Amino acid sequence: MLLPHEIFAQMPQSTALGLLQFLHEKEKPLYRATVENLAQQRNLRPVFVERKPRKDQYAWIREQVSRKPNQALAAHLLQIWLVAEHRQLLCDFLDGFGISHDENGTVETLPESPSNEEVAKVVDSLLTKYDASLVTIYLNAFQSIDESGWTGVAAALAENPRLRLSN
């Protein structure tokens, strides 16, 4: 399982670009707060980052969020992006196990881990419908929410060669 900062470090560049572009366009206050927070950590004024071309801003943010001290921020950004931009993936994942959820694919409490076979079946169905890197990002983010995670998801991430991120 990858931790949130490791997900950022290993996700395809196009995915990182899309995620940060989404935040910039649809979650402006969060994007601005992220820039301010990261700039302060590096003893920079936010304007230093904001004046860079957008592509350079995104590259700098990704580099900073890929650092271990920014794990909580990385987790938050992934969560916002997944729920807002990829809620159907979340819903399809939960529906595959018959888990009731709201329209955003969120649940109050998760049940115990389904069997490895059940997880493999749901993951295979997701991989036929969604990009493998997106499924991989979601499964790693899902695992990182809880200290123990689901053993079936951990097994799928470890054993399924389609669930690898390559930068």
Per-residue pLDDT of 38-97, as tens digits, reads 999 999 999 999 999 999 999 999 999 999 999 999 999 999 999 999 999 999 999 999
Three-state DSSP at 159 gives helix
Region 16-45: mean pLDDT is 96
**CB distance 139 to 156 below 8 Å:** yes
Output the DSSP codes for 65-96: HTSGGGHHHHHHHHHHHHHHH-HHHHHHHHHH
Q: What is the pLDDT of residue 107?
A: 87
Q: How far apart are the first and last CA of the chain?
A: 16
Query: Could you identify the residue written with the tokens 């490791």?
Result: 6
- Report field, pTM of the whole predicted structure over 0.75: yes
User: In the structure, what pLDDT confidence band is assigned to residue 167 with cuts at 50, 70 and 90?
Assistant: low
**CB distance 93 to 126 below 8 Å:** yes
CB hemisphere CA count around 65 (13 angstroms): 26
Q: What is the pLDDT of residue 122?
A: 97
Residues ≥6 apart with Cβ < 8 Å to 12: 133, 165, 166, 167
* Selected residue with higher pLDDT from 21 and 108: 21
